[in-house]
Chains A and B, each alone.
Chain A
Amino acid sequence: MSSAAGWQSGATGLVVVALPAAGYLAGRVRLASRGGHWPLARDGAFAGGWLCVAIAVASPLAARDEQFPVHVVQHILLGVLAPVLLALSGPVTLLLRVSTPAVRRFVTRVLRSRAVGWLSWAPVGAVLSVGAMYPLYLTGIYRFTLRHPLAHAALHAHMLLAGCLFAWALVGVDPVHNRGSWRVRLVALTGALAAHAILALYLYVHAGALAQPGVTGTSGDWRLGAEILWYGGDAADLAVIVAFFGQWYRRGGRELRRQRELQAVGVRGAASTDRPRPYEPQAGAGPLPE
């Protein structure tokens, strides 16, 4: 990649990185000025996710992303870690809490639209984010993105956006309409993580056939990239899995407290009549903002 293109990607990176941070900060300041409570963990998650995006698109790393191992590091940061952390930070909830009623109505209408509902179903996110990696690396698409700066930028946008779709469906704290039950999401998560690991193995084993020296890198580059995909995928897997089951556990805890409160005030059969399976926390949409 030429230095001009590298600089350009730095400039767009600045816009992509600076604008969301400014928006989040403005929302936080507004909420704080009203005395509204916002968990510190969400600020931390946003800062972490934002840092991942910044490192992936605006650091010196980004200028070297024509090298396959660097590209894979970018994929882990932009396509996995950043989306999970951003989903945990709940920026849409923040927006809904600080915006005017008109904006709130508009955002709610968009979130409740059929298209968003369809896209936010966890298996769709899995296919768009992890599934899309198969044609990307196993056909000529990756090579194409190396030659065309616009396609290259589009690839990065796709990584982040598709990753966000999936992460919001899996662990998002925002109200996600039609994300799927716990069971559907667990199946989508398992399938996506397995597909990710299997692709890493496939790239490792077939590095010699897939790599094109001088174009997409040497077979050594691809083998190293595949190992980064494998071990980096591990670290990311652990983060997603802990977040997923952690949310299941917390939701179950709220449910349990509610049951115990009902039992304490003497509502007989509260645990069994309205909730036939006390172990299964309610599936479906996320918590609605207060």
Chain B
Amino acid sequence: MSTVGDSRAVELTWRSRPVGSGALVGVGAAAFLDETLFHQILHWHHFWDGGSQSAGLVSDGLFHLAGTLCLVSGLFLFADLRRRGTFNRPLWWAGFCFGNGGFELYDGIVQHKILHLHQIRYHVTLWPYDVTWNVIAAIILIVGFVLYRRAVRAPSGRQAGDLHR
């Protein structure tokens, strides 16, 4: 417990566990929102709008699954942090922003623009939608970075991260 390697591991765990849990929930929330709001309620795009490129098939299948997997695993990790008393709220929200903004940026740039899986909406002028989507994603990411910097610098955070109490 007193060796350098151990303390570094504790330090990493203290940061990475809440960030990881938050990021998983963030990705899951973004995927869930996309699925329910745009697919099921607004019907702006269907789960499959593309042709038959196999890269698109694999990407869509994987990301569809990732939503559920991330949300459930992230929430169980969250519960685990709470019961161990190692939950750090700012760090968790920083992770949430990383996951949420990162996923939306991936969806907006890779899935919409590079793989052409689907567009946000059809039969309308597309660029305002694209710009809005990606700018929102970028803002969420920046908020995440700010939260992370503040959480890591705050001295109170370290105490909350002490594993052995």
Question: Which residues of A line the B interface, CB within 8 A?
Answer: 190, 193-194, 197-198, 200-202, 204-206, 230, 234, 237-238, 241-242, 245-246, 248-249, 252-253, 256, 269, 271-272, 278-279
Task: For the complex, give the distance between the alpha carbons of A271 and B162 in Å.
Answer: 13
Verify A190–B76 contact, CB threshold 8 A: no
With A193-B69, A241-B69 known as contacts, the answer to whether A249 contacts B61 (CB < 8 A) is no
Q: Which of B60-78 contact A (CB under 8 A)?
A: 60-62, 64-65, 68-69, 72-73, 76
- Chain B residues, Cβ within 8 Å of A205: 48, 51-52, 57
B47 at the interface (CB under 8 A from A): yes
B80 at the interface (CB under 8 A from A): yes
Shortest Cβ distance from A207 into chain B, in angstroms? 11
**A198, A238, A245, A246: the one within 8 Å of B61 (CB):** A198
Closest 7 CB pairs of A and B: A198-B61, A197-B61, A245-B76, A241-B72, A193-B65, A205-B52, A201-B57
- Chain A residues, Cβ within 8 Å of B69: 190, 193, 237, 241
- Chain A residues, Cβ within 8 Å of B48: 201, 204-205
B83 at the interface (CB under 8 A from A): yes
Q: How many residues of B contact A (CB 8 A)?
A: 26
**B52, B76, B164: the one within 8 Å of A248 (CB):** B76
- Chain B residues, Cβ within 8 Å of A201: 48, 57, 60-61
Verify A249–B76 contact, CB threshold 8 A: yes
25 contacts between A and B (CB under 8 A): A190-B65, A194-B58, A194-B61, A194-B65, A197-B62, A198-B61, A201-B48, A201-B57, A201-B60, A202-B57, A205-B51, A205-B52, A205-B57, A206-B52, A237-B68, A238-B72, A241-B72, A242-B72, A245-B73, A245-B76, A248-B76, A256-B83, A272-B6, A279-B13, A279-B17
Verify B57–A230 contact, CB threshold 8 A: no
B 87-127 binary contact with A (CB < 8 Å = 1; else 0):
00000000000000000000000000000000000000000
- Chain B residues, Cβ within 8 Å of A190: 65, 69
Verify A237–B164 contact, CB threshold 8 A: no
Main secondary structure of the interface of A (DSSP, over half): helix
- Chain A residues, Cβ within 8 Å of B1: 269, 272
- Chain A residues, Cβ within 8 Å of B61: 194, 197-198, 200-201
**B62, B68, B80: the one within 8 Å of A238 (CB):** B68
Task: For the complex, give the distance between the alpha carbons of A204 and B65 in Å.
Answer: 17
Task: For the complex, give the distance between the alpha carbons of A22 and B65 in Å.
Answer: 37
Task: For the complex, give the distance between the alpha carbons of A200 and B65 in Å.
Answer: 12
- Chain B residues, Cβ within 8 Å of A193: 65, 69
Shortest Cβ distance from A210 into chain B, in angstroms? 12
- Chain B residues, Cβ within 8 Å of A279: 13, 17, 80
B79 at the interface (CB under 8 A from A): yes
With A198-B61, A205-B57, A237-B65 known as contacts, the answer to whether A230 contacts B47 (CB < 8 A) is yes
Task: For the complex, give the distance between the alpha carbons of A252 and B1 in Å.
Answer: 21
Verify B57–A234 contact, CB threshold 8 A: no
Since A234-B64, A271-B163 are in contact, a sample of 10 more A-B pairs with Cβ atoms closer than 8 Å, ordered by chain A residue number, is A193-B69, A198-B58, A198-B62, A202-B57, A241-B72, A245-B73, A249-B76, A272-B1, A279-B13, A279-B80
Task: For the complex, give the distance between the alpha carbons of A35 and B80 in Å.
Answer: 34
- Chain B residues, Cβ within 8 Å of A241: 68-69, 72-73
- Chain B residues, Cβ within 8 Å of A249: 76, 79-80
With A205-B48, A241-B72, A272-B1 known as contacts, the answer to whether A197 contacts B80 (CB < 8 A) is no
Shortest Cβ distance from B76 into chain A, in angstroms? 4
Task: For the complex, give the distance between the alpha carbons of A194 and B83 in Å.
Answer: 31
B84 at the interface (CB under 8 A from A): yes
Task: For the complex, give the distance between the alpha carbons of A194 and B65 in Å.
Answer: 6
